[in-house]
Amino acid sequence: MRKVVISLLAAGSLLLTNTAIHANVTEGQASQTAAPWTSVNEDSSYTYEAVEQVSASKATIKKGTFKTKYNTNIRRDAGTKHSVVTLAKKGSTATATHQKKVGNQTWYKVKVNGKTGWVLSTLLTPAKAAAKAPAKKAPAKKATVNKVSSSKATASNGTYKVKHNSNVRSNAGTKNKIVTLARKGTTVKSTHQTKVGNTVWYKISANGKTGWISGTLLTKTTVKAKAPAKKKATKKASNSSAPSNLVSNAKSHLGTPYKFGGTTTSGFDCSGYIQYVFNQSGKKVSRTTLGQFAESKTVSTPQVGDLVFFAGTYRAGISHVGIYIGNNQFIHAGGRKTEVVSLNNSYWKKHFHSFKRL
């Protein structure tokens, strides 16, 4: 009888022990299951870009070979909130198999570094496009299409107005270097004209510099438009005031708190601030830093009102933007508030990428 009792007690103890062990294992598994759903906290020292949570479309076939423009994160799925599976160095070859949209952004599924993941399409450039441009063909194209000798030009006396903000080039043709920017509404007089393909180019003077501009960017002035000097001065003043108005609008929001994803005066992030100030000044721009970078043109010498871009602040590639206000300074939404910062600042000097103009 005593042996039976001892056996029953031992069996009960073993059953309780197994139950406890099973409970611990289950709890451990639950903990491990929960971990992948924990959000990742990125370095918030300089977090400038809003990430909008949007549903992704279904992937479709996309074939192509690309090169990465910058050191670029390859992610587990389309969207910046997904984990990074590998870092593709600038110039790495990426082979695409699928594509899908997340909001207004297109993402490609690629294979790079022996791993497969998703990358934003704007961070890639087609590999074949670069290979198709042999060094010998470039001069030939320049000579036949763009290098039009001024000796072949004919006299042309006319007065025109510039339809849009337009580049004035050293010679007729879009491949020639830019000598100045003619603002929209500027009155110019032509002295010569010539043809490049089917386009007529005019030799004009603007901003004290002489160069060539496409006739498609000019409109012939009427007799009424031949205004006295006072009217020209008024027109010139309104053109030159545009950048100063933009800067005035930008400075009016100094001290506004930084807010991740912010697009209003209650709080801005960097690209939300740019969009708000430009909209306030009468110009619509994209919401994101990458969108603003894509729709602007690179300039070597910045003017007041140009955009200044930075790379590698909290992610690879273009990641921050501000407005150039002169004297080697820019205004931006960063850190804790909207503020004016010098480009000589050690942090921003290290991450500076380029000046661009909308």
At residue 343, the pLDDT reads 94
Catalytic hit among 192, 332, 351, 353: 332
pLDDT tens digit sequence for 227-251: 556 655 444 433 445 788 899 999 9
Query: Where do we find the tokens 């206000």?
Result: 325
Torsion from C-alpha of 250, 254, 258, 263, nearest 10 degrees: -30
**What CATH number has the domain spanning 60-131?**
2.30.30.170
3-state secondary structure of 73: strand
- Is residue 54 within 8 Å of residue 326, measured between CB atoms? no
Model confidence at 1, pLDDT cuts 50, 70, 90, reads very low
At residue 16, the pLDDT reads 41
Catalytic hit among 82, 320, 351, 353: 320
pTM of the model: 0.36
What proportion of the chain, given as a percentage, has pLDDT over 70? 72
Query: Two tokens at 246?
Result: 């933009």
Model confidence at 52, pLDDT cuts 50, 70, 90, reads very low
Model confidence at 171, pLDDT cuts 50, 70, 90, reads very high
Give the strand order in the sheet containing 297-299. 297-299, 352-357, 307-311, 318-326, 329-334, 337-342
For 156, list phi and psi in degrees, rounded to 5: -150, 110
What average pLDDT does the chain have?
79
pLDDT tens digit sequence for 289-317: 999 999 999 999 999 999 999 999 988 99
Q: Is 82 a catalytic residue?
A: no
Per-residue pLDDT for 57 more than 90?
Answer: no
At residue 260, the pLDDT reads 86
Pick the CATH number of 145-220 from 1.10.540.10, 2.60.40.10, 2.30.30.170, 3.20.20.70: 2.30.30.170
Q: Is 332 a catalytic residue?
A: yes
Per-residue pLDDT for 6 more than 90?
Answer: no
Catalytic hit among 22, 253, 270, 353: 270
At residue 226, the pLDDT reads 52
With residue 107 as reference, give the H or E element that holds it. strand 105-112
> 27 or 288: which carries more pLDDT confidence?
288
Fold of the domain built from segment(s) 236-357: endopeptidase fold (from Nostoc punctiforme) (3.90.1720)
Per-residue pLDDT for 255 more than 80?
Answer: yes
- Is residue 162 within 8 Å of residue 207, measured between CB atoms? no
At residue 132, the pLDDT reads 55
At residue 120, the pLDDT reads 93
Interatomic CA distance for residues 299 and 308, integer angstroms: 10
> 44 or 312: which carries more pLDDT confidence?
312
| Range(s) within the chain of domains with CATH label 3.90.1720.10 | 236-357
| Range(s) within the chain of domains with CATH label 2.30.30.170 | 60-131, 145-220
Q: Which of 188, 194, 119, 187 is nearest to 151 (CA)?
A: 194
